[in-house]
Amino acid sequence: MSKWYIEKGDQGDIVLSTRIRLARNLREEPFPIKLDAQGKNRVNALIRSAVFENDQNDFSFIEMKDLSRRQAVSLAERHLISPEFAAKKEGSALILSKDESVSIMLCEEDHIRLQVMKAGLDLEGAYDIADKLDSMLDARVHFAFDERIGYLTQCPTNLGTAMRASVMLHLPALTRCGQMTRLANTVSKLGLTVRGAYGEGSQPKGDLYQISNQITLGITEETAIANLKSIVLQLVAQERAAAAELMKNPAEEDKIYRALGVLRLARLLSSDEFMELISLVRLGVARGLLDVPMEKINELIVNMQPATLSVMHSEADGPAARDAARAKIVRETL
């Protein structure tokens, strides 16, 4: 079954993916932090049976203790679990749909962290699926819910809708023009956050950014989604304008073609260099300069991360072999 990220979605030249995450807790149980392994397993079993009772998503149930470190990190690299969850063992579990578009972390910070991902910009579509799963669970378990506040969560910043909606954007032109700091500041004043989708450094790897809502209290899901969507569309328009301007410079065009040349022939590619070059190639594809399917680019961005690469290709063991395997797969793909 092909994964969700193989598709190219709405505003696909700039928007890679949309993610809706709902946090839920069971009324009868303390938050996971107050539970021992036995207690967590009791919670997990309860949710598991509720989900699998009428499974239409071809779900699998994965206990974190059964995964190798590499497998767990690979899930985090693909944004299917949080980086913190990757280190969890006994008492932590994951429910994952076969196409990886739906993942449910059990006993992470909250009992339930339900996440739906879609290709491109599709906040309503992702929310619709999340909402249906939420309703299905709501009919089978008792959520911790307060009429005045909304859903109760361990961390107060999630109280209310307990919904985090986020969109992953590829903004190479705005990054190159040095506009991202200003834009991130503006966006934060509107109750949203912009941060690098990969890497925590000053310049996010691959010029990929995650923009998400911050406010969950005193707002409906619909309003939060509409706000986010409107800002995303503005960023998309600004990136397109910046890219059009950038493309007028022959030296920038040259960089894009060279990046493709190196990716097509290199024998060794580190993760950082790959992200730098694929970002340029993605910009070239987005602007119609290069004839490479965008789906292939998006798939490579997800799959060429260190742990994911090692899990998918057993020969990619150790940094040197990984760089060689990465280069091989990249040139075969492009």
Size of the site for a second copy (CB under 8 A): 18
Which range touches a second copy (CB under 8 A), out of 52-60, 74-82, 246-254, 309-317?
246-254
User: Residue by residue, what is the 3-state secondary structure of the chain?
Assistant: CCCHHHCCCCCCCCEEEEEEEEEECECCCCCHHHCCHHHHHHHHHHHHHHHHCCCCCCEEEEEHHHCCHHHHHHHHHCCCCCHHHHCCCCCCEEEEECCCCEEEEECCCCCEEEEEEEECCCHHHHHHHHHHHHHHHHCCCCECEECCCEECCCCHHHCECCEEEEEEEECHHHHHCCCHHHHHHHHHHCCEEEEECCCCCCCCHHHEEEEEECCCCCCCHHHHHHHHHHHHHHHHHHHHHHHHHHHCCHHHHHHHHHHHHHHHHCCCCCHHHHHHHHHHHHHHHHCCCCCCCHHHHHHHHHHCCHHHHHHHCCCCCCHHHHHHHHHHHHHHHC
Tell me the closest approach of the beta carbon of residue 163 to a second copy, in angstroms.
44
Q: Does 137 bind a second copy (CB under 8 A)?
A: no
Kindly tell me which of 195 and 258 has the beta carbon lying closer to a second copy: 258
Kindly tell me which residue out of 99, 128, 253, 299 binds a second copy, with binding defined by CB under 8 A. 253
Kindly tell me which of 37 and 265 has the beta carbon lying closer to a second copy: 265
Kindly tell me which of 179 and 270 has the beta carbon lying closer to a second copy: 270
Tell me the closest approach of the beta carbon of residue 331 to a second copy, in angstroms.
9
Tell me the closest approach of the beta carbon of residue 250 to a second copy, in angstroms.
6
The interface mask with a second copy, positions 259-288, x = CB under 8 A, is -xxxxxxxxx--------------------
Q: Does 320 bind a second copy (CB under 8 A)?
A: yes
Residues at the site binding a second copy, with contacts judged by CB under 8 A: 250-251, 253-254, 257-258, 260-268, 320, 324, 327
